[in-house]
Amino acid sequence: MADPTSKLEMERSALLQKLAATGDMRRGSITECYRRCGKATCACSAADHPGHGPYYAFTTKVDGKTKTLQLRPGPLLTKMEREVETYRDFRGTCDKLIKVNEAICVARPVDASGQEKKRHSPTSSNARSLPRSKLS
Ligand SMILES: [Zn+2]
């Protein structure tokens, strides 16, 4: 009795609700990096030294060009990490939403659109208004 698509539709509603609740987000990624200063006398010249840091870099593409913003640990870095994370979640939710929708498309019976029902309907005046009637 239960509609095979109802579970998928509930899943879709949940994903749409999650998308609606999306907060501030931005595309890009934040990487942690360490650098060697190049001075032979510095401790970082040792092979097992990771280099100075950590430094943080926010990288994003603007009009096809890669833009990098150097960041120090602090409130701005924390804020941007949250915004980038929100974007990653958003994209993940979008992918799931597309997959659920495609599953709904596959599961949805053809006659759910009402065309089959209208064909069997006793009122033929309704059927005449359908574009499909031109084929017959
Ligand atoms: Zn150094």
Q: Does any domain span residue 43?
A: yes
Nearest to 80 by CA among 96, 67, 99: 67
Nearest to 24 by CA among 66, 80, 65: 80
| pLDDT 10s digits, 69-91 | 999 999 999 999 999 999 999 99
Give 125 Cα–ligand 1 centroid separation in angstroms: 85
Give 32 Cα–ligand 1 centroid separation in angstroms: 17
Nearest to 55 by CA among 84, 85, 31: 31
Nearest to 77 by CA among 35, 23, 31: 31
Average pLDDT for runs of 10 along the chain of length 136: 81 97 96 92 94 94 94 95 97 98 92 56 52 54
Give 51 Cα–ligand 1 centroid separation in angstroms: 6
> Can you give the residue range of the structural domain that contains 93?
6-109
Residue 4 pLDDT: 72
Give 52 Cα–ligand 1 centroid separation in angstroms: 6
pTM confidence score: 0.68
The contacts of residue 93 (CB under 8 Å, 6+ apart) are 15, 18, 19, 22
Residue 1 pLDDT: 43
Spatial strand order in the sheet of 52-62: 29-35, 52-62, 65-71
What is the tally of structural domains in the chain? 1
Burial class from Cβ neighbours inside 10 Å (0-12, 13-18, 19+) for residue 65 reads: exposed
Q: Does any domain span residue 1?
A: no
Q: Does any domain span residue 136?
A: no
Give 70 Cα–ligand 1 centroid separation in angstroms: 18
Residue 60 pLDDT: 96
Give 33 Cα–ligand 1 centroid separation in angstroms: 14
